[in-house]
């Protein structure tokens, strides 16, 4: 069985969702984490998770849409996070590539979301672009030497990957591996198997543009197996059980 650690299913039309779910089922993808990007999309991800057994949800505000959470928004997010099918706080993180001008606000938001994740006993589903050092800085300032969670669609260099591993994060690789010659190839060969995850980051846009869907996890897993000189079965088993392990971190609210 395969697991897709990071997808955005909540804006698909019902027919598109149906097709995407069928394709993922045919590819034996038994676990999909539908990740919210703001309050509204997080709420939709939760109701999707409620209606389909193979979907679980992550709730959070994406750094591209960063603004500090006021008390009401924080409580709304917290309420969503109490749903038993919410396994992560996400999509959260930092992006110095696409939105460097909002870094301060991104940091404020990320701090709030790390606090929420701690309060709820949930791991993080992180987005990080060219900001791995900053991520570590924020974690340290919040009093953490380690973070529980994953960093999706990893596109950093070796030093950045090592930083993430030192922080205790799982590292998820995505579609960049389907293009040969990417920097991720060398990283995939080096990452410890017990920290490896895969994600397609499927979304309404990538589905309509490139027919990207969670079933393509199997292709990414095959690439990883080839690069590591191992069997598809080994990658399938490891990435599925790694995501299950993170999912089991859901401890529920601490009060």
Interacting residues toward Zn ion by CB under 5 A: 91, 201
In the complex, the smallest distance separating the C-beta of residue 62 from Zn ion, rounded to whole angstroms, is 7
Nearer to Zn ion, 201 or 236 (CB): 201
Nearest approach, Cβ of 243 to Zn ion (angstroms)? 16
Of 34 and 112, nearer to Zn ion (C-beta) is 34
Q: Which is nearer to Zn ion, 63 or 227 (CB)?
A: 63
CB 124 within 8 A of CB 249: no
91 upstream amide cis, omega within 30 of 0: yes
Neighbours of 58 (CB within 10 A): 32
Ramachandran bin of 130, using left for φ above 0, alpha for ψ from -120 to 50, beta for the remaining angles: left
Nearer to Zn ion, 62 or 85 (CB): 62
CA–CA dist 25, 238 (Å, integer): 19
Q: Smallest distance from the beta carbon of 71 to Zn ion, in angstroms?
A: 26
The C-alpha atoms of residue 132 and residue 154 are separated, in whole angstroms, by 10
Q: What does the alpha-carbon distance between residue 247 and residue 194 come to, in Å, rounded to a whole number?
A: 14
d(CA 179, CA 248): 33
Shortest reach from residue 3's CB to Zn ion, in Å? 16
The span from the CA of 13 to the CA of 187, in Å, is: 36
Nearer Cβ to Zn ion, position 113 or 201? 201
**Smaller CB separation from Zn ion, 60 or 215:** 60
Rounded distance between C-alpha atoms, residue 90 and residue 6, angstroms: 9
Give min distance, CB of 234 to Zn ion, in A.
27
Distance linking the first and last C-alpha atoms of the chain: 35
Nearest distance in Å: CB 145, Zn ion: 26
Angle, alpha carbons 210-216-219 (nearest 5°): 115
């Amino acid at each position: 069985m395969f697991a897709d650690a990071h997808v955005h299913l909540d804006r698909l039309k019902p027919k598109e969702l149906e097709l995407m779910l069928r394709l993922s089922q045919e590819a034996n993808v038994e676990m999909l984490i539908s990740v919210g990007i703001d309050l509204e999309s997080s709420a939709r991800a939760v109701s999707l998770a409620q209606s389909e057994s193979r979907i679980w949800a992550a709730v959070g505000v994406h750094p591209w849409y960063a603004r500090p959470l006021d008390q009401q928004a924080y409580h709304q997010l917290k309420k969503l996070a109490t749903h038993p099918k919410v396994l992560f706080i996400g999509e959260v993180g930092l992006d110095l590539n696409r939105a460097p001008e909002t870094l301060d606000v991104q940091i404020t938001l990320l701090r709030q979301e790390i606090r929420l994740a701690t309060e709820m006993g949930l791991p993080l589903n992180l987005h990080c672009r060219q900001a791995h050092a900053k991520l570590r800085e924020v974690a340290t300032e919040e009093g953490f030497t380690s973070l529980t969670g994953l960093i999706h669609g990893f596109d950093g260099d070796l030093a950045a990957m090592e930083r993430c591993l030192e922080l205790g994060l799982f590292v998820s690789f995505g579609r960049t591996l389907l293009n040969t010659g990417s920097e991720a190839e060398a990283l995939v060969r080096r990452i410890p198997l017990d920290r490896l995850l895969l994600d397609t980051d499927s979304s309404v846009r990538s589905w309509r543009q490139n027919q990207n869907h969670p079933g393509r996890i199997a292709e990414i897993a095959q690439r990883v197996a080839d690069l590591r000189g191992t069997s598809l079965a080994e990658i399938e088993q490891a990435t599925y059980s790694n995501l299950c392990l993170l999912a089991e971190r859901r401890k529920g609210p601490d009060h």
